[in-house]
Amino acid sequence: MGFDIPRRTTFALALLLAGCIHPAAAAIKNEDCLACHADARLRSAAGTSVAVDPERFRASVHGQAEVSCVDCHADLKADKDFPHAEKLKSVSCAGCHDQETRVFKASVHGGATVDKDGMTVGCKGCHGTHDIRAKDDFESRTFAINLPRTCLGCHSAKVRNARGGAFVELYEKSAHYRALERAGLTLSATCSNCHGAHDIQSVKDAVSKVSRKNIIKTCGQCHVGIQRDYLEGVHGKDYVKGIKDVPVCTDCHSEHDIRSPMDLDSTVYTTKVAQVCSRCHDDMALSRQYGFAPNRMKTYANSFHGTASKFGEIRVANCASCHGFHDIRDPADPKSSIYPANLPETCGQCHPGASKHFAEGKIHNALGTTGDIRDKAPHIVKTVYLAVIAAIIGVFLLFIAADLFGRAIRRKTHG
Q: What is the mean pLDDT of each run of 10 residues along the chain (415 residues)?
A: 43 40 58 93 91 96 95 86 84 95 96 87 95 96 96 81 70 95 93 97 95 97 97 96 96 95 96 95 93 88 89 94 95 94 93 84 57 60 89 96 91 79
How far apart CA 214 and CA 330 sit, in angstroms, is: 24
pLDDT at 380: 79
Q: Cα torsion at 147, 151, 152, 157 (round to 10°)?
A: 160
How far is C-alpha 327 from the geometric centre of its chain's CA atoms? 22
How far apart CA 185 and CA 145 sit, in angstroms, is: 8
Instruction: Name the residue among 224, 214, 278 with its Cα closest to residue 250.
Output: 214
Which ranges in 119-220 belong to alpha helices (H)? 123-127, 147-155, 166-169, 175-181, 191-195, 215-220
- Dihedral sign computed on CA atoms, order 274, 275, 276, 277: positive
CB 142 within 8 A of CB 60: no
How far apart CA 226 and CA 220 sit, in angstroms, is: 7
pLDDT at 21: 42
CB 33 within 8 A of CB 110: no
Q: Where are the domains of the chain?
A: 7-91, 102-199, 375-415
Instruction: Name the residue among 30, 36, 39, 41 with its Cα closest to residue 13.
Output: 36
CB 135 within 8 A of CB 143: yes
pLDDT at 389: 95
Helix/strand/coil percentages in the chain, nearest 5 = 50, 0, 50
How far apart CA 233 and CA 336 sit, in angstroms, is: 9
How far apart CA 318 and CA 316 sit, in angstroms, is: 7
pLDDT at 414: 78
How far apart CA 316 and CA 307 sit, in angstroms, is: 9
**Cis peptide leading into residue 83 (ω within 30°):** yes
pLDDT at 325: 94
